[in-house]
């Protein structure tokens, strides 16, 4: 008897994304580092993670947040959405005070996902005119710092 192969996926965004409205926005993911198994159990297209296996999953999302200007503290929210419905108790908020400082905001959840479910990471900002958002950074002689890293792991 061989053990069941667990589904997993590691995704990220190499794009700086700064919402220009107050409406919630799906975070665009443009790369994946790895997915599990011979048959892909987790896959993605632009801003949607496609679940290929029904199971309990651990979802961890870390976003590199910043703002371009403004002298007032401004918030940015991140949460998980499944099939167009916001996942309860998954929202986190960071307040960005200084345009010269970046920070990492993490949201996570454990939830049952079903084959065919669509998973999104969402964001919303308090003020769309100050460049609040997520930022990809390319340090010299180091790997890229993605604007968002997403890990999805079957438990």
What is the domain partition of the chain in residue ranges?
19-154
Residue 2: pLDDT band by 50, 70, 90 thresholds?
low
Please tell me the distance from the alpha carbon of residue 19 to that of residue 36, in angstroms, as a whole number: 32
Q: Which residues share a beta bridge with 77?
A: 93, 124
Please tell me the distance from the alpha carbon of residue 132 to that of residue 114, in angstroms, as a whole number: 34
Check residue 33 and give its pLDDT.
74
Please tell me the distance from the alpha carbon of residue 144 to that of residue 153, in angstroms, as a whole number: 23
- Model confidence, pTM: 0.91
Q: Which CATH class is domain 19-154?
A: mainly beta
> Kind and range of the H or E element at 63?
strand 55-66
Write out the two tokens for 63: 């976003």
Question: End-to-end alpha-carbon separation of the chain, Å?
Answer: 19
Maximum average pLDDT range among 29-38, 47-56, 94-103: 94-103
Compute the radius of gyration of the chain from its Cα atoms: 16
- H helices within the chain, ranges in order? none
Q: What is the mean pLDDT of the chain?
A: 90
Q: Which residues share a beta bridge with 34?
A: 10
Q: Over range 68-78, report the average pLDDT.
A: 94
């Amino acid at each position: 008897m061989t053990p069941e192969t667990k589904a997993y996926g590691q995704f990220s965004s190499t794009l700086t994304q700064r919402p220009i409205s107050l409406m919630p926005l799906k975070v665009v993911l443009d790369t994946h580092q790895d997915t599990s198994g011979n048959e892909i159990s987790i896959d993605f297209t632009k801003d949607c993670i496609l679940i290929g296996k029904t199971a309990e999953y651990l979802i961890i999302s870390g976003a590199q947040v910043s703002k371009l200007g403004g002298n007032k503290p401004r918030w940015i929210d991140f949460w998980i959405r499944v099939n167009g419905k916001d996942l309860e108790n998954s929202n986190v908020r960071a307040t960005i005070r200084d345009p010269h400082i970046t920070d990492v905001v993490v949201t996570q959840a454990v939830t049952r996902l079903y084959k065919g479910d669509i998973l999104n990471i969402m964001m919303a900002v308090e003020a769309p005119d100050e460049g609040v958002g997520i930022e990809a950074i390319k340090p010299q002689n180091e790997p890229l710092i993605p604007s968002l890293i997403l890990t999805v792991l079957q438990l």
